């Protein structure tokens, strides 16, 4: 009894302290198609391969905790595009805990990657991590940057980049909840609002979790051309991958904080859901849907299969599964929709099950500016 109450009180303090900084007033987002195209082309030109041949993309992970969508989606999109050699690497080979859902097995560690690629990666993607100052990760990132790799921090991967000394004196994007933290830690850095992603002297950053979609497609364009990026975007259901973004709505307010805490206080109503995974399952849809439901604070999602062990997803990533056990609610997942359509549909289902405030919180945490869901007196419907 006392432990949940203590956690609740500390959560209240953290949320209201965050609200003092994260809700900083911003200028309105510019409505300028020419500017959006200019920003896209600036990123693409800055991220074009510097050497002939197939580039090497390393996606850095922390064994103890790496964000689910930041990792699975960028890995899957680049593998699907087939424009680079894509490697998932962590301090240690083997199990990597993802948050808020799933575990994966990776076959390459930092030392092994360095032996195989002594001149370094061409690109390194950095998802959000449970510890943004892990010494092994930050040291490896510094080495990769020194060897000429372009670094991409996705969502709160920006914090990891900052702790590796890669944001000093640079412009950055970043998840709305952490931009003030970056500015406090790195006084020479400059936050740029209203851009989904940007690059400054070889270091790229993005806004929240769902920015992994446009930045991965922009990187595909830089490496493989616009037609390749457009083909992959069509498979995902993305009509655009421009850096267009309105940062204004993404901030913590007292109302949102209070709604979140009331929901968290109902810890007795937490549900364990299963999702059946099979070889070849689409990583992108799985990551987006599991991430969204998990961020309601009311559901935990567990990968299940006929036999415990690992299942190879479409990208080749090995997802750890548990054997089917007692009957659990099933994660609503269908192959009839493209991944982004499934995310929109999931947000609708979240609203129907847990209310509009839960949907709003998930959109806020994922910083999803592309929701194709409208709300009317009849409830939530796809538009």
Decide the pairing of beta strands 190-191 and 171-172.
parallel
Residue 231: domain span: 13-236
Decide the pairing of beta strands 123-126 and 309-312.
unpaired
Q: What's phi and psi for 189, nearest 5 deg? A: -85, 160
pLDDT value of residue 34: 82
Q: Specify if 372 maps to a domain.
A: no
- CATH number, position 100: 3.40.50.880
pLDDT value of residue 29: 67
Half-sphere exposure of 29 (CA within 13 A, CB side): 16
Number of structural domains in the chain? 1
**155 counts as catalytic:** yes
Q: Which of 20, 155, 348, 380 is catalytic?
A: 155
Helix (H) or strand (E) holding 139: helix 135-146
Q: Specify if 95 maps to a domain.
A: yes
pLDDT tens-digit series, residues 125-173: 999 999 999 999 999 999 999 999 999 999 999 999 999 999 999 999 9
- Crossing angle for the helix pair 356-366 and 339-354, to the nearest 10 degrees: 140
d(CA 144, CA 251): 33
Q: Specify if 3 maps to a domain.
A: no
pLDDT tens-digit series, residues 92-130: 999 999 999 999 999 999 999 999 999 999 999 999 999
d(CA 57, CA 120): 10
Q: Specify if 343 maps to a domain.
A: no
d(CA 299, CA 204): 33
Burial class (CB in 10 A: 0-12, 13-18, 19+), 157: buried
pLDDT value of residue 1: 36
pLDDT value of residue 372: 34
- Decide: 370 and 210 in contact? Cβ < 8 Å: yes
Q: Specify if 199 maps to a domain.
A: yes
Q: Specify if 43 maps to a domain.
A: yes
Q: Specify if 55 maps to a domain.
A: yes
- Mean per-residue pLDDT pooled into runs of 10, the chain (383 residues): 41 42 57 83 96 96 98 98 98 97 97 97 98 98 97 98 96 94 92 95 96 97 97 94 91 69 57 91 95 93 88 96 77 84 93 91 90 39 42
User: Which pTM was predicted?
Assistant: 0.89
- Decide: 219 and 78 in contact? Cβ < 8 Å: yes
pLDDT value of residue 37: 87
Q: Specify if 274 maps to a domain.
A: no
């Amino acid at each position: 009894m006392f432990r949940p109450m203590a956690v609740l009180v500390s959560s209240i303090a953290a949320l209201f302290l965050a609200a003092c900084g994260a809700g900083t007033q911003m200028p309105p987002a510019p409505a300028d198609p020419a500017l959006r195209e200019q920003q896209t082309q600036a990123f693409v030109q800055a991220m074009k391969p510097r050497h002939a041949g197939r580039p090497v993309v390393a996606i850095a992970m922390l064994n103890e905790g790496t964000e689910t969508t930041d990792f699975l989606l960028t890995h899957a999109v680049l593998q699907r595009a087939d424009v680079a050699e894509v490697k998932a690497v962590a301090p240690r080979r083997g199990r990597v805990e993802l948050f808020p859902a799933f575990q994966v097995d990776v076959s390459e560690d930092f030392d092994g990657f360095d032996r195989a690629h002594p001149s370094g990666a061409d690109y390194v993607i950095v998802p959000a991590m449970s510890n943004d100052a892990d010494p092994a990760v930050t040291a490896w990132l510094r080495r990769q940057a020194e060897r000429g790799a372009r670094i991409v921090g996705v969502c709160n991967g920006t914090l990891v980049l900052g702790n590796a000394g890669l944001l000093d004196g640079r412009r950055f994007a970043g998840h709305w909840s952490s931009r003030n933290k970056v500015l406090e830690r790195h006084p020479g850095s400059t936050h740029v609002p209203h851009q989904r992603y940007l690059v400054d002297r070889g270091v790229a950053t993005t806004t929240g979790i769902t920015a992994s979609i446009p930045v991965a497609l922009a990187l595909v364009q830089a490496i493989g051309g616009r037609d390749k990026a457009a083909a992959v975007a069509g498979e995902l259901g993305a009509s655009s991958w421009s850096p267009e973004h309105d940062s204004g709505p993404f901030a913590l307010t007292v109302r949102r904080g209070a709604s979140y805490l009331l929901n968290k206080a109902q810890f007795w109503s937490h549900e364990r859901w299963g999702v059946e995974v099979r070889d070849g399952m689409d990583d992108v849809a799985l990551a987006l849907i599991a991430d969204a439901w998990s961020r309601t604070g009311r559901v935990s999602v567990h990968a299940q299969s006929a036999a415990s062990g690992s299942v190879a997803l479409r990208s080749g990533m090995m997802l750890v599964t548990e054997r089917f056990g007692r009957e659990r609610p099933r994660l609503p997942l269908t192959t009839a929709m493209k991944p982004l359509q499934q995310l929109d549909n999931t947000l609708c289902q979240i609203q129907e099950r847990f209310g509009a405030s839960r949907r709003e919180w998930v959109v806020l945490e994922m910083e999803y500016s592309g929701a194709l869901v409208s709300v009317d007196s009849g409830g939530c419907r796809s538009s």
